[in-house]
Structure 1
Amino acid sequence: MGIRKLAAVGIAAALVATTATAASAAPDQRVDPAVLQAGLDRMARDGAQGVQLRVVDGDRTLLLRSGTARAGSPRPVPLNGRFRVGSVTKTFVATVVLQLVAEGRVSLDAPVSNHLPGLVDDRITVRMLLQHTSGLYDYTRALPLDGETFLKERFTRHDPRDLVAMSTSRPLDFTPGERHEYSNTNYIVAGLLIKQVTGKSWERSVNDRILRPLGLHATATGGLVPQGPHARGYLQINGKLVDVTALNSSMAWAAGSMISTTADLDRFYAALLDGDLLPPAQLAEMKKTVDGYGLGIYEFPMPCGITAWGHGGGIPGYITLSINADDTRLEMSMTTGALDEDGVDGLDDTLIAAFCP
């Protein structure tokens, strides 16, 4: 869910731009844990309260961390900690929709109104939702997501149709299909589409179709707080660090409410990109990009010739990043602390160290 500047779309754009200037490396070089650790330490010094990182480097798995799990405490970030994944949720939701396409129950290029009459403009197709080319106004721009107002409203329960109404009460940002522009509203509609087609909520569908088959036992489709070990999430409000770990995730719903771990996200993306969750035709559709965005997934071209896939996510208190290539997979969670929203020192070097050492 794109709540902060360092949310999903912002992270993806920044990473592609920054890594493109790095020096190439020989493909047989392996990841250096010390370089990764140095990058994490710089993130913590730059204002992240804590960072946990999982890098799969061929047949080797590296687990690293920096910072602390709670402000004012020396307790380290748990290596198996749970966290809010924000817009990484969108890849799960897109996967379910594409499974329905494979089953012949949904057509990518048919109007959404075939299933949800009157909800959105009749020109908007299912593909446009998943690829953010619908032109729908992003409802999060109308939510109180910063400062004291957010603290007062963060436990409010939001009905998904009300979130869509926040969008459709305003004009489209552009003609459907004209261009790519990230909007969380698209995935609220996608969640409603799943319910309409299957008779089950998107949460139940994700659980039945992805979480249970893959054994992702530490992943949940929402919750007031992450259960089990976790680092606390913070926002800086009026110069003070405020704990915002607890919130009503209905504000993000199918656009960004999920909770997971680096191990579960690694298993999910590995299964997805290996073709275990989608037939070849639908996986190929997922990877057809507009401005670097496919159907619920970003393309990350790396300077050493690697093409990686994944998603980023931001929700108050947490920033998540998952980038996955053939021989290297990186899953990261950062608690925001007193982070400067204009950048995260050390992030670029960490990514280059992982994918182009």
Structure 2
Amino acid sequence: MTSAPAPANSPRFRRSRLPVAAAACAALTAVTLGTVATPALASPANKPATTATATANYNDTLPPLNQDALRTAISSAPTRTTAMLARVSGPAGHWTGTFGTADVSTKAPVPVDGRFRLGSVTKVFIATVILQLAAEHRVDLDHPVQDYLPGTLPPSPAIKVRQLLNYTSGLPELTPDDLPTDPKGMVEHRFDDHPMAQLVAMAVKHSPPYAPGTEQRYGSTGYYVAAMLIEKLTGHSYQQEITRRILRPLHLRHTTAPQTDTAIHGPHTHGYLAVPQPDGSMELADVTEQNPGAGGLISTTADLDRFLTALFRGQLLPAAQQKELFTVPAIAEQQNSSTPAGKPRIAYSAGLMRITLPNGVTVWGKTGSTFGYTDGMFATRDLQRRLVYSFNPISAGGNDAALVNKTVSAAFS
């Protein structure tokens, strides 16, 4: 399939822009760990077998690391993904595994050190920068966002900065009517970018789904506003602040926060979307290159493991702001009380996602998706066991919650 070329001239102020890829995925999906029905699509032929390496386990509270379950999990969606990579680290066991192919044309193996797009995992980096700014007394988490960004949001109801980070803002989300969300449209427009102010303006034209602080619902509009807030407070793009405050101090040499570069440099798997053809077949379109923008960080499993470890150990935040990472709003706890038995209980703090699995193990981290890429990072609070994974879904929605659920459960159950 022939894809639209990248624009020859980059628009002014691109640093404040968001790719249609991330925005459209946000409009289509909210990442959960429930069971999701995904249509089966033809997968590339001659997919390589699962490969893995492992070391012995150690932990008094976690179940032993189940390597067979992990191997089964990462190879469980051959018709919905082209590749998968997973890494388990920590005193309670080490394991790495790959499945599929990095390139459906060459059948190259999946690189263990491969780069991938982070999608909404970028939100953890954005939240960390906001919390650092709070520690520097440059922003008050309990102060209305409208006072910092006048004219960006409706003047009422007042929305606290903290509510942007913990998904209780009540801000409406983009819908499929706002951006192209069909596979063909996604492929053709993956190099488009939009000012964040424009995306927020489109979102707030919709009716607020609830009053601030009365519910917790996953979404992206609050983080578009948070990224705008970083720029307003610092005079730099959120990508520049993430690079200066997090990537360089932690020596995350394989993690980048591109503002205009559409490529992934270094070893990586390709991302694809299955596009329906007139004869009813599906054709895989390579969407590896796409506009970066918000959700556009690129990293590796090793770098994300290093970032998550530093974050949990308090290397990036003082104690007061560190507490925000692991504080779930009371309204979210109330919503969790109705979770059916045997289902994962999911809630959000200021930046992180908390999952309590049916076996009682609680992990913290984040999932993310953009065109052709889905990933996640999770760890027990004590860092005894940590999981980072990336896979390449071919569906337009992208997040494949069933595969995420199976992978996380295999690592911690």
In the superposition, the TM-score normalised over structure 2's length comes to 0.76
Q: Aligned pair in 2 of structure 1 residues 104, 12: CA closer, same or farther (>3 Å)?
A: farther
- Map residues 264-279 of structure 1 onto 2, 5 A cutoff: 264-279=303-318
- Map residues 63-74 of structure 1 onto 2, 5 A cutoff: 63-74=96-107
| 1:324 maps to 2:360 | no
Q: Aligned pair in 2 of structure 1 residues 204, 296: CA closer, same or farther (>3 Å)?
A: same
| Percent pairwise identity | 37
Higher normalized helix content (fraction of residues):
1
Return the alpha-carbon distance in structure 2 between the equivalents of residues 5 and 156 of structure 1: 15
Q: Deviation at 1:304?
A: 3.6
* 1:19 corresponding residue in structure 2: none
* 1:286 corresponding residue in structure 2: 325
Higher alpha-carbon Rg: 2
Q: Deviation at 1:246?
A: 1.2
- Stretches of structure 2 lacking an aligned partner (at least 5 in a row): 1-21, 37-58, 277-281, 333-346
* 2:137 corresponding residue in structure 1: 104
RMSD: 2.6
One-letter amino acid of the counterpart of residue 297, structure 1: L
SS of the residue corresponding to residue 274 of structure 2 reads: strand
- Map residues 128-277 of structure 1 onto 2, 5 A cutoff: 128-139=163-174, 141=176, 142-222=178-258, 223-238=261-276, 239-250=282-293, 253=294, 256-277=295-316
- Map residues 86-101 of structure 1 onto 2, 5 A cutoff: 86-101=119-134
* 1:18 corresponding residue in structure 2: none
Q: Aligned pair in 2 of structure 1 residues 287, 59: CA closer, same or farther (>3 Å)?
A: closer
| 1:295 maps to 2:350 | yes
One-letter amino acid of the counterpart of residue 80, structure 1: D
Contact kept, 8 Å, 2:80 with 2:394, in 1: the verdict is yes
State the number of aligned residues.
342
One-letter amino acid of the counterpart of residue 219, structure 2: S
Q: Deviation at 1:344?
A: 6.3
* 1:334 corresponding residue in structure 2: 391
Q: Deviation at 1:350?
A: 3.4
Question: Which moves more between the two structures, 119-128 or 27-36?
Answer: 27-36
One-letter amino acid of the counterpart of residue 334, structure 1: F
Question: 1:124-159 deviations in whole A, cap 9, x for unaligned?
Answer: 110111112222222364211322222222111211
One-letter amino acid of the counterpart of residue 299, structure 2: S
* 1:21 corresponding residue in structure 2: none
Return the alpha-carbon distance in structure 2 between the equivalents of residues 300 and 7 of structure 1: 22
SS of the residue corresponding to residue 42 of structure 1 reads: coil
Contact kept, 8 Å, 2:33 with 2:401, in 1: the verdict is no
SS of the residue corresponding to residue 32 of structure 2 reads: helix
Contact kept, 8 Å, 2:33 with 2:402, in 1: the verdict is no
In the superposition, the TM-score normalised over structure 1's length comes to 0.88
Q: Aligned pair in 2 of structure 1 residues 77, 8: CA closer, same or farther (>3 Å)?
A: farther
Return the alpha-carbon distance in structure 1 between the equivalents of residues 390 and 27 of structure 2: 12
Return the alpha-carbon distance in structure 2 between the equivalents of residues 204 and 133 of structure 1: 27
SS of the residue corresponding to residue 214 of structure 1 reads: coil
Return the alpha-carbon distance in structure 2 between the equivalents of residues 37 and 346 of structure 1: 12
